[in-house]
Amino acid sequence: MSRRSALRRLSLLAAAGTVVSVGAAAPPTQAPPAAPPVKSPVAVGYGGAVSSVDADASAAGIEVLRRGGNAVDAAVATAAALGVTEPYSAGIGGGGYFVFYDARKHKVFTVDGRETAPRSADENLFVENGAAIPFAEAVTSGLGVGTPGTPATWDAALDAWGSKPLRSLLKPAERLARDGFTVDATFRSQTEANRARFADFPATAELFLPGGGLPAIGSVFKNPDLADTYAELAKKGARALYRGDIAEDIVDTVRRPPVDPDATRVVRPGDLTEGDLRAYEVKRQAPTRVRYRGLDVYGMAPSSSGGTTVGEALNILERGDLSKLDEAQYLHRYIEASRIAFADRGRWVGDPAFEDVPTQGLLSQRYADSRECLIRDDAVLTSPVAPGDPRDAADCEASGTAAPTTYEGDSTTHLTVADKWGNVVAYTLTIEQTGGSGITVPGRGFILNNELTDFSFTPASPAVHDPNLPGPGKRPRSSMSPTIVLEHGRPVLALGSPGGATIITTVLQTLTGHLDRGLPLVDAIAAPRASQRNQATTELEPGLWNSPLRGRLEAIGHGFRQNPEIGAATGVQRLPDGRWLAAAEKERRGGGSAMVVKPSGTP
């Protein structure tokens, strides 16, 4: 019996209540591997660029670029490496959105690789005895697991625009999983935050809680099961996750969650089937597009709400010159535009395969103008703001009942890549909240998502249709906002961020900080953030919470609550002299990693 089969059997025995003893898979203590690449939040040069939250992952993408791969190839390699080093944020057990600029065609394309609900799901997926189940119980369950979309996204992107086979692009990540990476403070703290959940699942505990304890900072973390899984995908192709042994293991894990027999946690099974996995397909669809300050801003269309909500907010802000405002005035208008755009997001955006989403109306300048006139310079709109009707825009009117913003996990990760030919990728991928469902597929080395908890469990408002209720094969609404900005058909910059619903405001604030306020991209990413999502109070990071700006904004009616960290953006920028600039976080999540193929000069 193989080690994977044995571990799967032990986990299933545990789920059935049979007492088993599972040994820790941690390797014996040994010297750390070669020092990881040095993290830098900014890099500039030629030959292409990669920016992500992790130095090993960015290095994997750079390795591919140096060997002649293009931006799509490098994005897949970087994403696979993030599945090793950022396993609580992304991986093959999740999904995401891929936005690609084709330098040859001067066009932007997208792949919707969002997870889907089982075909047996209906709007009562999270309802028992007439009431929504507790959110925490839905998160850590098979019930919250959607069909993963990440491997299918890689397959679709490489088939359409890649130049290298998947088997070669998985090699850096497979090597990283087999040889190990150095544990940092962020990885340890995220493990600690999930310790109680992870301990209840033998396969998760064996992998992420070696010997029952937390991985030590500076120690080597290896994931041989994931290395083997990557090797299997390299040999058989990405579709191997959707049929055959891997698919069977996923379905068994969802339908019979392998819980420790001593655990007291309520862990509901899900109804995912092998048929659901076989039927999964990504969606190739047109991006969203708005004009802003003479530039073309492209994003992700529904099922993500990122493109429509960022786009509507930019259209609202288009009417004023943000560069001439002082900092408090700028923040006021940015906050109010976010508030209004989120009001419309809550009412109108869902999976367009199931809902009549007025995407064109939400992105029209005419509609934005009808909403912009609600904003006053000396007062604050009262949240929740009622939505407008993009199908029949009426100036300064809000109709219907406001839909509150539902919770979305604040994990996720984003990577941005450019190559020497001028192709660009902005790719956001996720397993939902930090640690996903907490359930590792036994013997496979990856955690399953809890993405279906992005659905509304019950109607957000009984008075209005909720476009985000579950349904058979439906994609839950997302806030992921991978964004590419063009000028005269050529890339200016690309960016994105993790952070649940705060992704939208992070991307919006970074864009306006750079394009309107003149901040260098790395400083626009580092600037302290505010996030308003049609709620009574706006979240502020400490840099704004402790600033005199807070008092000035409170004086005209703003209310605030503190959030220690919002988002973790990465981006690339094409400089006028033809060099690429890569930019990442300076401090958030321990700082990001920006790299270029051939460093040249200073930013």
Residue 26 has pLDDT above 50, yes or no: no
Contact 266, 314 (CB under 8 A): no
pLDDT in tens, 105-116: 999 999 999 999
Q: How far apart are CA 198 and CA 140, in angstroms?
A: 10
> 602 or 269, which is more confident?
269
pLDDT value of residue 462: 77
Please name the residue that has the structure tokens 């609600």.
374
Question: Using an 8 Å Cβ cutoff, are 46 and 582 in contact?
Answer: no
Q: What percent of the chain is modeled with pLDDT above 90? A: 88
Per-residue pLDDT, averaged over 123-128, amounts to: 96
Tokens of 13: 């025995």
pLDDT at 547: 97
pLDDT tens sequence across 220-233? 999 999 999 999 99
Please compute the mean of the pLDDT values over residues 414-439 and round it to a whole number.
97
Does the pLDDT value for residue 24 go beyond 50? no
Average pLDDT over residues 136-159: 98
Q: What is the mean pLDDT of the chain?
A: 93
Q: How confident is the model at residue 19 (pLDDT cuts 50, 70, 90)?
A: very low
Q: What is the mean pLDDT of residues 543-554?
A: 98
Establish whether 537 is a catalytic residue: no
- Measured distance CA(596)–CA(58) in Å, rounded: 9
**What is the rounded radius of gyration, in angstroms, for the C-alpha atoms of the chain?**
23
Check whether 14 has a pLDDT greater than 50. no
Whole-number pLDDT of residue 170: 98
Closest CA to 603 of 12, 51, 2, 29: 51
Q: How far apart are CA 553 and CA 240, in angstroms?
A: 54
Using the predicted structure, report yes or no on whether residue 104 has a pLDDT greater than 70: yes
Instruction: Look at residue 20 and tell me whether its pLDDT is greater than 60.
Output: no
What does the pLDDT read at residue 588? Answer: 95
pLDDT > 70: percent of the chain: 92
Burial (CB count within 10 angstroms: exposed 0-12, middle 13-18, buried 19+), residue 212 = exposed
pLDDT grade for 36, boundaries at 50, 70 and 90: low
**Least confident stretch, 3-12, 64-73, 265-274, 526-535:** 3-12
CA angle 342, 113, 589 (to 5 degrees): 65
Q: What is the pTM assigned to this prediction?
A: 0.93
- Going by pLDDT thresholds of 50, 70 and 90, the confidence category of residue 393 is confident
pLDDT at 38: 84
pLDDT reported for residue 59: 98
Q: What is the pLDDT of residues 291-342, one digit of tens each?
A: 999 999 999 999 999 999 999 999 999 999 999 999 999 999 999 999 999 9
Task: For residues 51-75, give the mean pLDDT.
Answer: 98
Whether 419 shows a pLDDT value over 60: the answer reads yes
Contact 396, 374 (CB under 8 A): yes
- Alpha-carbon distance of 258 to 206, in angstroms, equals 13
- Residue 398 pLDDT: 63
**Quick one: pLDDT at residue 408?**
62
Predicted confidence (pLDDT) per residue in 442-474, tens digit: 999 999 999 999 999 998 777 788 999 999 999
3-state secondary structure of 181: strand
Longest dimension (CA), the chain: 72
Q: Is the pLDDT of residue 602 over 90?
A: no
pLDDT confidence of residue 562: 97
The rounded distance, in Å, linking the Cα atoms of 240 and 238 is 5
Rounded distance between C-alpha atoms, residue 200 and residue 14, angstroms: 10
What band does 35 get if pLDDT is binned at 50, 70 and 90? low
Cα–Cα distance, 110 to 103 (Å, whole number):
14
pLDDT tens per residue across span 192-218: 999 999 999 999 999 999 999 999 999
For residue 11, pLDDT beyond 80: no
Other C-beta atoms lying within 10 Å of the C-beta of residue 301: 25
Please answer whether residues 218 and 32 qualify as being in contact, where contact means their C-beta atoms are separated by less than 8 angstroms. yes
Q: Which residues pair with 182 in a beta bridge?
A: 220
Structural tokens at position 545 = 């919470």
Q: What is the pLDDT of residues 332-362, one digit of tens each?
A: 999 999 999 999 999 999 999 999 999 999 9
pLDDT at 406: 65
Binning pLDDT at 50, 70 and 90, where does residue 402 land?
confident
Q: Does the pLDDT at position 31 exceed 90?
A: no
Give the other-Cβ count within 10 Å of 228's Cβ.
19
pLDDT tens, position by position, 65-90:
999 999 999 999 999 999 999 999 99
Q: Per DSSP, what are the bridge partners of residue 539?
A: 531, 561
Catalytic-labelled residue, pool 412, 416, 434, 483: 412
Higher pLDDT, 20 or 75: 75
Q: Could you tell me the two tokens for 398?
A: 């809000």
pLDDT at 601: 81
pLDDT (average), residues 413-429: 98
